[in-house]
Amino acid sequence: MTDKSPAANILVGVSGGIAAYKVCEVVSTLAKAGAEVRVIMTSSAESFVSALTFATLSRHTAYTDQNFWSADQARPLHIELAEWADYFLIAPLTANTLGKLAHGLADNLLTNTILASTCPVLLAPAMNTDMWLQSSVQRNWQQVLADERYRAVGPAAGRLACDRIGTGRMAEPHRILAALESLQHTQGRCDLTGKHILISTGSTQEYIDAVRYIGNPSTGRMGIALATAAAHRGAQVSLVFGPMEPHLRQTIPDSVQTTAVVSAADMEASLMAQLETADWIIMAAAVADMRPQLNVAGKLAKADLPNPLPLEPVTDIAAQLAAKKRADQTLVGFAAQTGDIIAPALDKLKRKGLNAIVANPVDQPESGFGCDRNQGIFLDHQGHQTTLAASTKLRMAHHIYDLLLTTLTT
């Protein structure tokens, strides 16, 4: 959320559930990033987190029903807040508040403000599994989502506060924040609905023996951002990733189909197997260029390591995909470069037969491998260049999709 304009106003509605404590992190993160945040609490939410806590974290009064019915307001509070908001998050969304949304009911400050507002609304449900699976709750959920104003994040599966294991957990704060960031960019557009996007990300590891390998520092963050942005815009997403830290794997949206691989050969096999059904293929992985000619099952003694180490080239996966893809499929590459990033990227674009490429400087501060932010130059098949200014990787991913949608329709 670090690139969010301070002018964006975010209303956070908190209804009564144990997951309300997680919303503290969401509010705190938004406020620290420069957002203007206002919190509305239902009376039952006050049983779980105090208004003072949210006021402190948001740097502003947290509103309750006591404020709603106060005679001190020059204008109705729910109207003031509804007109002020650019985006509305409701977390946790309980079965009770969901039912009110579905039927247009308004009996407290939160529900009155929702009905008085016109901005996009992000919903983060949280409830017991049996409650979530009730046919009446599912009817309400589908009815609400039929309104284009509303977008969803979660619920997730796992152990609930009642010790039940199942669906009903509120999405974790990092997922809610990512969904909010996407909502700010897209305004709720699902313009990738109907597309299957196949993405590769991370590094590959080419083993010498059981404990040594040739690799690179790619973490997979950019590919996860591309997968997240595509999922938020309605696409069916498949992500093939190399070795990745567990905490990063946990940031991949649940709706994304994932395949974990290790070597370049593994990645090539997985991508080729999924090529037929993909509309867009995005090669964000940092695939090895060379691999050892030997691959020993056990560990070699240091004295037995060959010097020099004999290497052989790895198959160029992007070129292989380009040779086998259909004319109606789009293949996008990434070029991680230092120094002049344009000339090598143009060469790869033409030599590999790509539809577009993103030239990515990895020698700049807060850019490239291991960073939460990135920047680059987008080049289409005619070599036209568009600067991708430094931003979060999620925002950069959205800009890439905007450019692909534009270049493929003009």
pLDDT tens by residue, 195-206: 999 999 999 999
Closest CA to 138 of 92, 99, 90: 99
Evaluated on CA atoms 400, 402, 403, 409, the torsion sign reads positive
In angstroms, rounded to a whole number, what is the distance separating the alpha carbons of residues 151 and 88? 10
In angstroms, rounded to a whole number, what is the distance separating the alpha carbons of residues 393 and 181? 11
Q: Where does the pLDDT of residue 363 fall: very low under 50, low under 70, confident under 90, or very high at 90 and above?
A: confident
- The total domain count for the chain is 2
Please report the pLDDT score of residue 302 as a whole number.
87
Q: Tell me the one-letter amino acid at 252.
A: I
Q: Where does the pLDDT of residue 71 fall: very low under 50, low under 70, confident under 90, or very high at 90 and above?
A: low
For residues 57 and 31, the answer to whether their CB atoms sit within 8 Å is yes
Q: Does any domain span residue 2?
A: no
Q: Is the peptide bond before 313 cis (omega within 30 degrees of 0)?
A: no
Question: What share of the chain in percent tops pLDDT 90?
Answer: 76
pLDDT tens by residue, 127-143: 999 899 999 999 999 99
Q: Does any domain span residue 3?
A: no
Q: Are residues 201 and 306 in the same domain?
A: yes
Find the angle CA(315)-CA(321)-CA(324) to the nearest 5 degrees: 120
Q: Are residues 38 and 169 in the same domain?
A: yes
Q: Does any domain span residue 370?
A: yes
Q: Does any domain span residue 46?
A: yes
Residues 6+ apart with CB under 8 A from 97: 13, 15, 42, 90, 110, 111
Whole-number CA gyration radius for the chain: 24
Q: Are residues 205 and 173 in the same domain?
A: no
pLDDT tens by residue, 50-67: 999 999 999 999 999 998
In angstroms, rounded to a whole number, what is the distance separating the alpha carbons of residues 7 and 24? 21
Q: Are residues 52 and 125 in the same domain?
A: yes
**89 backbone dihedrals φ, ψ, rounded to 5°:** -115, 130
- Do strands 36-41 and 62-63 pair parallel, antiparallel, or not at all (unpaired)? parallel
Q: Choose the final residue of a domain: 134, 161, 186.
A: 186
Q: Are residues 298 and 155 in the same domain?
A: no
Only one residue has tokens 């400050």, namely 109
Closest CA to 188 of 231, 152, 227, 151: 151
Which one-letter DSSP state was computed for residue 344?
H
Find the angle CA(31)-CA(32)-CA(37) to the nearest 5 degrees: 5
For residue 379, give the CATH number of its domain: 3.40.50.10300
Please report the pLDDT score of residue 365 as a whole number.
80
Q: Are residues 149 and 294 in the same domain?
A: no
Q: Choose the final residue of a domain: 164, 186, 208.
A: 186
Buried b / exposed e over 345-380, threshold 16 CB at 10 Å, is: bbebbeebbbbbbbbbbbebeebbbebebbbbbbbb
Which run of H or of E encompasses 254?
Answer: none
Please report the pLDDT score of residue 1 as a whole number.
44
Q: Are residues 175 and 298 in the same domain?
A: no
Q: Does any domain span residue 57?
A: yes
Q: Choose the final residue of a domain: 137, 154, 186.
A: 186
Please report the pLDDT score of residue 410 as a whole number.
53
Q: Are residues 234 and 173 in the same domain?
A: no
Cα–chain center distance at 399: 13
What average pLDDT score do residues 274-297 get?
92
**221 backbone dihedrals φ, ψ, rounded to 5°:** -60, -40
Please report the pLDDT score of residue 336 as a whole number.
86
Q: Are residues 175 and 201 in the same domain?
A: no
Closest CA to 191 of 402, 357, 356: 402
Strands (E), 143-235: 150-152, 156-159, 165-169, 196-201, 206-207, 213-214
Q: Where does the pLDDT of residue 2 fall: very low under 50, low under 70, confident under 90, or very high at 90 and above?
A: very low
For residue 17, give the CATH number of its domain: 3.40.50.1950
Q: Does any domain span residue 1?
A: no
What average pLDDT score do residues 274-278 get?
96
In angstroms, rounded to a whole number, what is the distance separating the alpha carbons of residues 13 and 11? 6
In angstroms, rounded to a whole number, what is the distance separating the alpha carbons of residues 265 and 326? 22
Only one residue has tokens 């924040």, namely 177
Q: Are residues 321 and 174 in the same domain?
A: no
Helix extents (H) in 198-256: 221-232, 246-249
Q: Are residues 201 and 308 in the same domain?
A: yes
Q: Does any domain span residue 247?
A: yes
What average pLDDT score do residues 374-383 get?
91
Residue 129: strand, helix, or coil? helix
In angstroms, rounded to a whole number, what is the distance separating the alpha carbons of residues 75 and 53? 26
Between the two ends of the chain, the Cα-to-Cα distance in Å is: 31
Domain coverage including residue 28: 9-186
Strands (E), 243-309: 257-260, 280-283, 290-292
Of 119, 162, 190, 371, catalytic: 162
pTM for the full predicted model: 0.91
Q: Are residues 164 and 283 in the same domain?
A: no
Q: Does any domain span residue 191?
A: no
pLDDT of 375 strictly over 60? yes
Q: Assess whether 371 carries a catalytic annotation.
A: no
pLDDT of 21 strictly over 70? yes
